Structure 1
């Protein structure tokens, strides 16, 4: 499906990790009267942000831009382009906010607090390295935590969403313990993710043990009992 509206393009760019400041809008010279964006390929999902994004500003914003693009307008072309780009970004943000519900507002407030070091600078640094999708799923589960208090369930749910192939075990015979098997080589980025989730969701009194590439041995589970591939427990 084609991206028709400016706000759709900005949301897609955000999910792809493209900063808003790298996206520049301009009035299209050739455009369809039925679409706001004028991509060369109508159904493209690619965002070619190296060049200005052409938009049909008459589609919804004729009353705002009609004087700027009037033949008698004496504004310098360079200033006009700069002004148009700023105004379009502003209008797109208004569009996005009008479509937000209460949960999305709460998520934005939480994100602002984490990045503002309310949860600590180290947590802010880790959060900044996460993708937009990862940030949103963690923020959503923080909201669920405030409502339900289900720390252990949300710990498991968040880890499973961040690490698709992980396996989680819970022990409580002698001491409350969570065992997390990642299934890949240890690395700094994933270490940060685990530490972030652990700080937020691990219940008090519980311990989290992380196993990376090698699984600890489980009797009668043959795939965990491979020579030179068994982690010590």
Structure 2
């Protein structure tokens, strides 16, 4: 890591709150690096991070930490932390297009209960990349209304071995094959996907490890590994 945005991205991916990071001006630093880390190959994020403020932001911090300025050091350090957090947020937003902003708004709405308390709780079961997959498809749902397709697409991306079959001959039914062991957490994750994308007219049936038999598909016709439909 060299830049403050490197640190913030790593913090996001590891689930660490950026509010728990305190930036302070480095006492000793390299003129070729923005972050002044004790271990430049560090894999974890320290609570206190020293920054070389002159690497990219010389004009901003030029007069704040001159050698002859000894007044209000505590205040200056607090302002420094606030300003570096602000600059890091700008770094993270640079290069984002309108769609990426919309995805962030969808995620924020889900995390703030605008989709309901159940969705907020269920979202906590997914990592950052998985949450983005869900948010992208929620946005696509607003744009296209293709709920069944997006339900299948979301399941396939979150559960790599899963398949969804549509049965509309006798009733409107979706049959889920998950391809993994049943567990309380997996059931809760699937329930969130169903709650968001499942059209109200459809019933569902879930199969876990064992696939129901389909004639002509040998992988589904193995003895002792066939579920009954």
Task: Identify the TM-score tier after normalising by the shorter chain.
Answer: 0.7 to 0.9
Residues 1:132 and 2:115 aligned together: no
Output the CA distance in 1 between the equivalents of 2:208 and 2:23: 45
2:68 is aligned to: 72
Output the CA distance in 2 between the equivalents of 1:23 and 1:135: 23
Any idea what SS the aligned residue of 1:155 has? helix
Alpha-carbon RMSD across the aligned residues, in angstroms, is 2.4
Any idea what SS the aligned residue of 1:59 has? coil
Pick from 34, 41, 55: which aligns with 2:32?
34
2:108 is aligned to: 112
Q: Report if the CA contact (8 A) 1:24-1:49 is conserved.
A: no
Length, aligned pairs only: 229
The structural deviation recorded for 1:138 is 0.7
Output the CA distance in 1 between the equivalents of 2:217 and 2:71: 75
Q: TM-score, normalised by structure 2?
A: 0.86
Any idea what SS the aligned residue of 1:129 has? coil
| Paired residues for 1:29-108 under 5 Å | 29-39=27-37, 44=41, 47-50=43-46, 52-75=48-71, 80-108=76-104
Q: Report if the CA contact (8 A) 2:125-2:189 is conserved.
A: no
Could you tell me which runs of 5 or more consecutive residues in structure 1 were left unpaired when the two chains were aligned. none
Any idea what SS the aligned residue of 2:65 has? coil
Q: Report if the CA contact (8 A) 1:13-1:47 is conserved.
A: no
Any idea what SS the aligned residue of 1:113 has? helix
Q: Report if the CA contact (8 A) 2:24-2:48 is conserved.
A: yes
Pick from 193, 197, 204: which aligns with 2:200?
204
1:25 is aligned to: 23
Output the CA distance in 1 between the equivalents of 2:25 and 2:224: 63
Return 187-196 or 26-35, whichever deviates more.
26-35
1:191 is aligned to: 187
Output the CA distance in 2 between the equivalents of 1:12 and 1:49: 8
Cα offsets for 1:128-180 (capped at 9, x unmatched): 33211111111111111111111111111111111112222222222222222
1:123 is aligned to: 119
Pick from 4, 7, 12: which aligns with 1:6?
4
Shift of the 68–166 alpha-carbon distance from structure 1 to 2, 3 Å rule, reads same
Output the CA distance in 2 between the equivalents of 1:56 and 1:36: 5
Return 26-35 or 114-123, whichever deviates more.
26-35
